[in-house]
Amino acid sequence: MDSTTLMAQVECQPHLKDVNAHSLYASFQQIHDGRCKRGIRYPLALLLSLIVLAKLAGMDNMNGVVEWVRHQSSWLNALFGTSYHRWLCFSTYVYALGKLDPQVASFLLSSALLRLQAEHHGQPDPSLCKRRPDEHSHKHIAFDGKALRGTYGHHDPKQPSVHLCAFYEVQTGIVLAQRDVKEKENEISALKEMLTPGLIKGRILSADAMHTQRFFCQQVTHGGGAYLLTIKDNQPTLREELKLFFDDHAADVRWHIHRDVSSGHGRMDVRITTTSPDLRDYLARQWCGIEQVFCIERTCIQQGKPTSVEVHYGITSLTPRQADAQRIGALHRAHWAIEIV
């Protein structure tokens, strides 16, 4: 029974009619279906295409996907050339998703979405998207890990949480690669497996302080990419060197400074980004590809609360010509968009 009598009358969102669903379907046909072949009623490519279309329509959970597909049955039958009277139930989606390779699915999905974006801009080749005027922001991808808690609340409360690591394209919001952190493994070892040449080349990779490791800098540099990393207490010697360097304002150093002020919700944030290439030769012996060091001082002023000041230090392989102080500050701030994914 329909939850509302109005939903059946709602037509498909106009923007979905511009999506090349057949291109999505063709991409998903490359994914191996791990289900038993006997009794399969709905092809895996169709199932995945339905999920993507429902997500683009604004459905944020699987129950929403099921309901949306059911209410759009006439349009979907015409779109895919099918004649289903009954569409997939919740358990069918869950079972099928549990039997596929998540790495392959993530790669093909990101490729398909980039292709859709390219077609939207009138460019048949997705790689041409990178030649738009905002190419630097398009290339920026952020890496982070997070624990998913409460997913299996009906199971044993002692069951460990699922920890996922992901590469997230900041501008488009597409997850390019994702994998879970297995037992007796951590984010650093998971990252080593995910740093493939195809992911690195031509991109700016940012990560939090945990991943400020020499192997990361070396692999990204040799892979044809660039990195932007934050320095904290896991690299105490480097952090102390940067602190001393930026505290010595009287030194004969090439400083590049940008000040940014933003306000909202009764709060004002003042960010001062200072960069310098003058430590490059000194740090290059240990940190492959390094070109600049940076310091970001963030002052938060909020009515009724004491003023807070945070200082972040970091290193990057971007040259001053590729990224000035303003750009470094913007990249550092954009990295944390992955936290809301």
Length of the chain: 341
Same domain, 336 and 239: yes
Where does a domain end: 79, 114, 149? Answer: 114
In a domain, 88, yes or no: yes
In a domain, 180, yes or no: yes
Same domain, 251 and 318: yes
Same domain, 192 and 257: yes
Q: Is 176 or 3 the better-scoring residue by pLDDT?
A: 176
| Amino acid found at 47 | L
Same domain, 169 and 248: yes
In a domain, 119, yes or no: no
At 242 the pLDDT is: 94
Same domain, 177 and 302: yes
Same domain, 144 and 75: no
Dmax (CA) of the chain = 77
Q: Name beta bridge partners: 166.
A: 144, 178
The CA distance from 228 to 330, in Å, is: 11
pLDDT digits (tens, 9 = 90+) for 270-298: 999 999 999 999 999 999 999 999 999 99
Same domain, 192 and 283: yes
Question: Quick count: other Cβ atoms within 10 Å of Cβ 177?
Answer: 21
Q: Fill in the DSSP letter of residue 94.
A: H
What's this model's pTM, rounded to 2 decimal places?
0.64
pLDDT digits (tens, 9 = 90+) for 209-235: 888 999 999 999 999 999 999 999 889
Q: Considering only CA atoms, which of 112, 147, 117 is closest in space to residue 130? A: 117
Same domain, 167 and 256: yes
Same domain, 146 and 195: yes
In a domain, 147, yes or no: yes
Same domain, 26 and 65: yes
Q: Name beta bridge partners: 328.
A: none
Specify the number of domains making up the chain: 2
DSSP-H helix ranges across the chain: 21-28, 44-56, 62-71, 73-80, 90-98, 102-120, 135-139, 187-194, 197-200, 214-222, 236-247, 280-283, 325-335
Q: Is 149 or 208 the better-scoring residue by pLDDT?
A: 208
End-to-end CA, the chain: 33
Checking if the pLDDT of 131 tops 50, the result is no
In a domain, 128, yes or no: no
At 184 the pLDDT is: 65
The CA distance from 55 to 277, in Å, is: 44
- 28 touches 49 (CB < 8 A): yes
In a domain, 276, yes or no: yes
Contacts by residues 93-96 (CB-CB < 8 Å, ≥ 24 positions apart): 93/47, 93/51, 93/62, 93/65, 93/66, 94/62, 95/35, 96/33, 96/35, 96/42, 96/44, 96/47
At 208 the pLDDT is: 86
In a domain, 154, yes or no: yes
In a domain, 65, yes or no: yes
Q: Considering only CA atoms, which of 133, 211, 203, 213 is closest in space to residue 174? A: 203
Where does a domain end: 66, 83, 114? Answer: 114
Give me the domain span that covers residue 179: 133-340
- 117 touches 129 (CB < 8 A): yes
Lowest mean pLDDT of 61-75, 121-135, 239-253, name the range: 121-135
Where does a domain end: 114, 145, 180? Answer: 114
Helix, strand, or coil (residue 146): strand
Same domain, 198 and 329: yes
Same domain, 110 and 152: no
